[in-house]
Chain A
Amino acid sequence: MKKQTREIIERVYHHQRKRIITITIILCIILCILMALSMMLGNTFYSLNTVIQSLLYENIPGASFTVNTLRFPRMLAGVFCGIAFGMAGNTFQKMLGNPLASPDIIGVTSGASTVAVFCILILHWSGNAVSIGAILGGMLVAFLIYRLSQGIGSNNGRMILIGLGFQAFLQAVISYIILRAAQYDVANALRWLSGSLNNVTIEEAVRIVIVVIFMGSSLVYLSRRLMLLQLGEDFATTLGLNIQRTKLLLIVNAIILSAVATSISGPIAAVSFLSGPIITRICKGNQANMLQAGLMGAILVLAGDLVAQNLLPARYPVGIITGILGAPYLLLMLFRMNHKGG
């Protein structure tokens, strides 16, 4: 073998890795800036200094309550729900091999939010019970989608379509529950239909942080296997991958992430759907980019929330802003296709 060959190839790999590391660092910096901004901005502006002081040391009259009790849990929940949605979406999209097949489109998130809505509005539960209910709801829907798509020449495509059916069904059920629960409370309805960070408590924020640490790291651990799945089941099996177990692990982790996040913030629209594809476009190549997709999710949620809270005439729930981002993304896809000439 020529010696250059190896040099060329190592250079290709190093180049790719360097690119991804740079991107990750940039994402982290953007996220930090957004975190700081969302602690500083609001009805009253507090300087970074005040924010840090009231978080770490002293009780500053006025600032401490706003910063520690209102803004901090909101920011924390925004970051970690974003990571959860971003990672869960990325996992499903890569696993099903379709950039549109994220859990918020194929019914899994709706399963979680249906149960969450039911527990909160009808049973008046709160706290961990709701999260567990939401996880079970998401799992049940995923299981049903899986079962219904088996045994009929099963393939990913059919699974996605059945998921779309569940999505439509569950959205209708959510509307029904909201309508029956009380008088039609629009703010509440929007929270459960498009997601919002209003009234997040510190307990809820801590819950999502813990879930993200555990499930998120297992997804990062599983990413190499996820990428192997993309070669098709035959190739993946002969390369020594246990397909069924890998898929099960991926699905369970992704569902727990998105279900717990949903039980806290509602299904923040389009974050799952957008994070993965944006990161894939930026990073190029074909990597799992699990961590990066999570960061992107957090950036989308925080940026959306900042815009929704500060820049618009009315205070919108964050999900409406992120949901709108879906439209330009789809247009961009269309534009790219025309550019390529069909």
Chain B
Amino acid sequence: MRKKNVYFLFVILSLCLIVVSALSILYGSKSVDMETLFDALFTNKESFSISVVQARIPRTLFGILAGASLGVSGCLMQSITRNPIADPSILGINTGASLFVVVGIAFFSISSPSQYIWLGFTGAILTAILVYGIASVGQSGATPIKLALAGAATSMALMSLVNTIMLPNSQVMDSFRFWQTGSIGGAKWNMILVLLPYFILGLLLSFYLSSSLNTLALGDELATSLGINSKKVRAMAAFAGVLLCGATTALAGPIAFVGLMVPHIMRLLIGSNMHYLLPLSALGGSILLLGADIIGRVIASPAELEVGIITAILGAPVFIYIVRKVKIRSL
């Protein structure tokens, strides 16, 4: 893939993102027109439509950040585990993050988004270690199939814990759906501000690591002889990946399959160079998440369908397609 084509794709995706963002602000149970959007953005007028738009702006921005985080996180996980089907939701990491936040809310009356993030992050790391550990049981180590099964089983167990905590706590119950299937419907400005530093840190770290990750793709032994500290690179990339998906899940709940679909589509388009793959996965993740969110608002109107349901319905067939297509070593 030539550089020119990558830039071309980059421009196209950016345009797509702008269009999707505009749609995300305009469409919903109450649709508004472009004029109102400009009024809301650039004037001080006040009306019901304008306040609707103003409520949708943080949601859209949050969707962009969350989608980009999940896309990059999936891309990192696929790269460091050399596993084509790695994804924060398949590995159960999202559920782990969810559980920790729910525990925090129910037992330690934690209520600020910045504390959610730390809990979500801790939960994500612990679950990642647990799932990887379970999958490594037996002779052949952590194969894709064992990782996926360990992730699914862990998810089931942790989701039961989430449900147990939720059921008797009626004050937490209101947000029950959101912890079960992720949603960006409740996004507020303060959540974006909380997410932003972690987002930037995770993104910078992963871009910084991209050339090392490219080398690591040649295999640990070759990478080591080329002067890469493969353990360190892998640990840092895992940290960045878990940081991104943990922070997102802490605020939006578990959103499935974005991290799986986007890197695969991008890889089909531009190959596996991490320099291009990471930023394009970020863009693609934002587009996908916002798109799914819009679909959820349109088809269930006047109610809303959580974005996590839509991404799962879209993502599962893609997952099956990948499983059928990819040659999976030593299942």
Contact = CB atoms under 8 A, between A and B. Distances in A.
- A–B contact at 8 Å CB threshold (below): yes
Interface of A: 98, 100-101, 104-105, 148-149, 152, 155-158, 160-162, 164-169, 171-173, 175-176, 179-180, 184, 186, 190, 193-194, 269-270, 273, 313-314, 316, 319-327, 329-331, 333-334, 336-338, 342
Say whether chain B's binding surface is mostly helix, strand, loop, or mixed.
helix
B313 interface: yes
A155 B144 CA distance: 14
Chain B interface size, under 10 / 10 to 19 / 20 to 34 / 35 or more: 35 or more
Given A169-B316, A323-B163, A334-B137, A176 B157 contact: no
Interface stretch (B115-123, B217-225, B323-331): B323-331
Contacts of A323: 156-157, 159-161, 163
B197 interface: no
Contact of B150 (A100, A152, A167, A179): A100
B279 to A, nearest CB: 27
Interface string B307-331: 0111011011101100110001001
A62 B136 CA distance: 56
Given A148-B320, A172-B316, A336-B137, A167 B157 contact: no
B209 interface: no
B85 interface: yes
Given A166-B316, A326-B156, A160 B130 contact: no
A314 B163 CA distance: 12
B148 A164 contact: yes
Contact of B300 (A157, A158, A167, A180): A180
A331 B130 contact: yes
Contact of A179 (B159, B256, B300): B300
B324 A172 contact: no
Contacts of B328: 157-158, 161
Nearest to B256: A168
A185 B220 CA distance: 51
A285 to B, nearest CB: 18
Contact of B134 (A152, A320, A330): A330
Interface stretch (B17-25, B173-181, B283-291): B173-181
A226 to B, nearest CB: 20
Nearest to B136: A337
Given A160-B145, A269-B160, 5 more contacts: A100-B153, A158-B331, A162-B324, A172-B256, A323-B161
A165 B331 CA distance: 16
Nearest to A325: B157
A337 B137 contact: yes
Contacts of A166: 316, 320
A161 B323 contact: yes
A338 B129 CA distance: 13
Contact of A98 (B149, B168, B310): B149
Contacts of A193: 163
Nearest to A150: B324
B154 interface: yes
Which 8 residue pairs are nearest across A and B when measured between Cβ atoms?
A: A157-B331, A323-B160, A169-B316, A326-B157, A172-B312, A314-B168, A327-B157, A100-B149
